[in-house]
Structure 1
């Protein structure tokens, strides 16, 4: 890693947009869900739900649009709609496997912190033979916290049982980077097409920013 980031013994990775190229699959999922229920979605729906956890967006669909389902039913339906993509189509971002293999060999403890449901996370990691690389998977659903809340990062850091200054957090979204900052860990911004408009701010808000995982290979 670059000279600014030394003594890293642990790493926490976001999943979507960081390790896997899945943001296009999520882009219209809220709109598709509402259409399925006979509701015309507004043009700015993606912007509205972007920083919400699964539970928060489910609650929003129920309360704001009158979808006659429970939060759990909404979550299950959306997971079902996206599952095929995780099972077959979504790709790892370039050089992710090589970088994770390298860190595993170095004995670095790694975890996943994601807003995506645990079953989908496990599904895609298993597909690429990566499930044994990680000490834990922590999700917004498991904690009841969205990734805009610093508390979810504190919970992830606690799972690694290392001092914050020995941990690097990898994120692609600006709102996540801002929340992760509160953890006291090193922050590595990862470029993703979905957040390219924030890239300059992401670079300024991170300790290090990478366009590709290739930059991390020794």
Structure 2
């Protein structure tokens, strides 16, 4: 890639964290004595934290505010981000490479900022990024193109000189509304969408090893 800036998704792209999320909503509902619907992941996968929290409150009649749901779910996975979730293979080597090349990097994620900072600090890569932008900070989910335009504007680099690196099809489709170069990353969690990801993206990689020089 010859871009001057790169906007990275975090979960499933930089960090191998998607298994933590797979049954999180269902486990949260079970903790409150509610049997989750079989298609819960399908319903919530494109939602931001705030949207999914409001969904749980409104759909299941929880005696909690959306903010309280949000906080409880964050606490369910905080230990994972703080102790053991790893970078995906070759991510550190590629980030080091981009730092040497003077490429500006940022993170755009639906995950709560406190969890993001906990993970990237532990993994020693916080200082690699110009900024971290989250759905909660913008009030936008990653299914909305506007969140990508906000990330581009924050960078202050022309769209055509920025790459966006994502693992989820719905995010890639939203990012395609920009003029950025879209890189689709394989993740087991979104393997069923891989053929469509390959069709929609400008480039796809099975591993960050393919970005090493």
Give the TM-score normalised by the residue count of structure 1.
0.97
State the match for 1:108 in structure 2: 103
Secondary structure of 2:177's partner? helix
1:139 aligns with 2:139: no
In structure 2, C-alpha distance between the alignment counterparts of 1:101 and 1:183, rounded to whole Å: 27
Off by >6 Å, runs of 4+ in structure 1: none
* Deviation for aligned residue 1:105: 1.0
Q: Residues 48-92 of structure 1, C-alpha deviation per residue, up to 9 Å, x if partnerless?
A: 100000000000000000111111111100000000110112111
Give the TM-score normalised by the residue count of structure 2.
0.99
1:18 aligns with 2:13: yes
In structure 2, C-alpha distance between the alignment counterparts of 1:31 and 1:37, rounded to whole Å: 10
Which among 103, 111, 126 is matched to residue 121 of structure 2?
126
Unaligned runs of 5+ residues in structure 2 are: none
Alpha-carbon RMSD across the aligned residues, in angstroms, is 0.6
Aligned residues: 213
1:167 aligns with 2:166: no
Unaligned runs of 5+ residues in structure 1 are: none
In structure 2, C-alpha distance between the alignment counterparts of 1:123 and 1:47, rounded to whole Å: 27
* Deviation for aligned residue 1:206: 0.5
Q: Residues 97-145 of structure 1, C-alpha deviation per residue, up to 9 Å, x if partnerless?
A: 0001110111111110000000000011011100000000000000000
Secondary structure of 2:198's partner? helix
Secondary structure of 1:189's partner? strand
Which among 5, 18, 25 is matched to residue 30 of structure 1?
25
Q: Residues 5-52 of structure 1, C-alpha deviation per residue, up to 9 Å, x if partnerless?
A: x3x100000000000010000001000100011101011111110000
Secondary structure of 2:106's partner? strand
In structure 2, C-alpha distance between the alignment counterparts of 1:104 and 1:35, rounded to whole Å: 44
